Amino acid sequence: MPVIDVKDLSKIFGKNAKKATKYLDEGLSKEEILKKTGNTVGVNRATFSVEEGEIFVIMGLSGSGKSTLVRLVNRLIEPTEGSVMIDGQDLAKMDNKSLREVRRKKLSMVFQRFALFPHRTILENAEFGLEIQNIDKEERRKKAQESLEMVGLGDYIHQFPGQLSGGMQQRVGLARALANDPEVLLMDEAFSALDPLIRKEMQDELLELQESMKKTILFITHDLDEALRIGDRIALMKDGKIVQIGTPEEILINPANDYVEKFVEDVDRSKVLTAEHIMKRPETVDIEKHGPRAALERMRKEGLSSIYVTDAKRNLKGYVTADDVSEAVKNEEDNLKNILRTDIVEVSEDTSMHEIFNVIHDATVPVAVTEDGRLKGIIVRGAVIAALSGSEVSLNGDLS
């Protein structure tokens, strides 16, 4: 059972919102609806679910409805239509008391502009969620202190928010949410207010914390790089609609439409693409079966100046060049062993484009992609250049 299950969720702002939903059915755009009715479509029939322990990222441009969506998930605003289930419980059907219980025990939110209470110390901020559950002072202080230490702020507990830097305040926001030990963290552009360096640091920190905490996280961002870094899955929003859901790679490699493609265009591909994405199926000869003649024949046919040599189980042995092979044919040798070269540049499937780019300069033959010594593919220089420039992303089987 998914932890968060959102079905056909819509939010239309303004009077007579229900009426405007019929225009959604007719497929009118957000602008048309605004013109016709004066209502703003915040979220338009969003459907997705988040599994336990998953980091689910919602991304989209400003005004695409991300904040509205996340606020619907803990019912800070009431939906116009659709349902939100938390652990199988329908949020809309809850009375105030059970809603409070869900917010206290299951959902904690981290806010874009921190939303710390300026009149409370860092410790008092962190303990807020526990304080309103009337947990006794000693225990809640202990928990608040622990979660502050977890984010590296153990020494600042008696300061006030105004005395801390933005990055530190953001950590307090995170610690405040974590102190409750919720199942689900809702993070609305939690890192957007931070400058790039601190931001990256916070992303790493979140991933590190996630290793041990295994929370279910709904993370909002307008930054694709951030989404790709931390998301297990990403949902892309446009004008209130979810236009694509997928893993970071699916989004990058198969953008669902122009909108997603536009988004993807700006990404620094070297960070997200790996060897796996640009390698091609290698031509090989079998060291046991093939002699110089067979190798020469194959190279001539494929127009290669060198070829990789493996054993029957595709364990990489080395490569031979066309010159050496012709020499061996002349000398009537029947084995490739004597002319085998082993100065190979090897990478693994998840090696990033960046690293490949750095090593491919030194390689005289295509880079070998191996796993446990077995040859999985090869990478030619042209493919790296193409991928980095974003002009052509070749899939596994496309080139060979």
61 to 100: interface string for other proteins, x by CB under 8 A: ----------x--x-x----------------------xx
- Beta-bridge partner residues of 310: 286, 316
The reply to whether 107 sits near other proteins by the rule CB under 8 A is: yes
Least spacing, CB of residue 162 vs other proteins, in Å: 5
Residue 199 or 290 having the CB closest to ligand ATP: 199
The reply to whether 165 sits near other proteins by the rule CB under 8 A is: no
Alpha-carbon gap, residue 185 to 132, rounded angstroms: 18
Residue 60 or 255 having the CB closest to ligand ATP: 60
Residue 67 or 306 having the CB closest to Mg ion: 67
Q: Which one of ligand ATP, other proteins, Mg ion, none interacts with residue 40, CB within 5 to 8 A by kind? A: ligand ATP
| 3-class SS string, the chain | CCCEEEEEEEEEECCCHHHHHHHHHCCCCHHHHHHHHCCEEEEEEEEEEECCCCEEEEEECCCCCHHHHHHHHCCCCCCCEEEEEECCEEHHHCCHHHHHHHHHHCEEEEECCECCCCCCCHHHHHCHHHHCCCCCHHHHHHHHHHHHHHCCCHHHCCCCHHHCCHHHHHHHHHHHHHHCCCCEEEEECCCCCCCHHHHHHHHHHHHHHHHHHCCEEEEEECCHHHHHHHCCEEEEEECCEEEEEECHHHHHHCCCCHHHHHHHHCCCHHHHCEHHHHCECCCEEECCCCCHHHHHHHHHHHCCCEEEEECCCCEEEEEEEHHHHHHHHHCCCCCCHHHCECCCCEECCCCEHHHHHHHHCCCCCCEEEEECCEEEEEECHHHHHHHHHCCCCCCCCCCC
The reply to whether 156 sits near other proteins by the rule CB under 8 A is: no
Residue selected from 16, 133, 348, 364 as contacting other proteins according to rule CB under 8 A: 133
The reply to whether 60 sits near ligand ATP by the rule CB under 6 A is: yes
User: Interaction with ligand ATP in 195-234: which residues (CB under 6 A)?
Assistant: 222
**How many residues touch Mg ion (CB under 5 A)?**
1
The reply to whether 64 sits near ligand ATP by the rule CB under 6 A is: yes
The reply to whether 67 sits near Mg ion by the rule CB under 5 A is: yes
User: Interaction with ligand ATP in 32-51: which residues (CB under 6 A)?
Assistant: 40, 42
User: Interaction with ligand ATP in 129-148: which residues (CB under 6 A)?
Assistant: none
Residue 190 or 251 having the CB closest to other proteins: 190
Residue 61 or 399 having the CB closest to ligand ATP: 61
Strands 316-321 and 306-310: antiparallel
Least spacing, CB of residue 131 vs other proteins, in Å: 7
User: Interaction with ligand ATP in 67-106: which residues (CB under 6 A)?
Assistant: 67-68
Least spacing, CB of residue 77 vs Mg ion, in Å: 13
Residue 87 or 225 having the CB closest to Mg ion: 225
Least spacing, CB of residue 50 vs other proteins, in Å: 18
**How many residues touch ligand ATP (CB under 6 A)?**
12
Handedness of CA 126, 129, 131, 134 (dihedral sign): negative
Enumerate binding residues for ligand ATP (CB under 6 A). 13, 40, 42, 60, 62-68, 222
Enumerate binding residues for other proteins (CB under 8 A). 71, 74, 76, 99-104, 107-109, 111, 113, 115, 117-121, 128-129, 131-133, 160-163, 180, 186
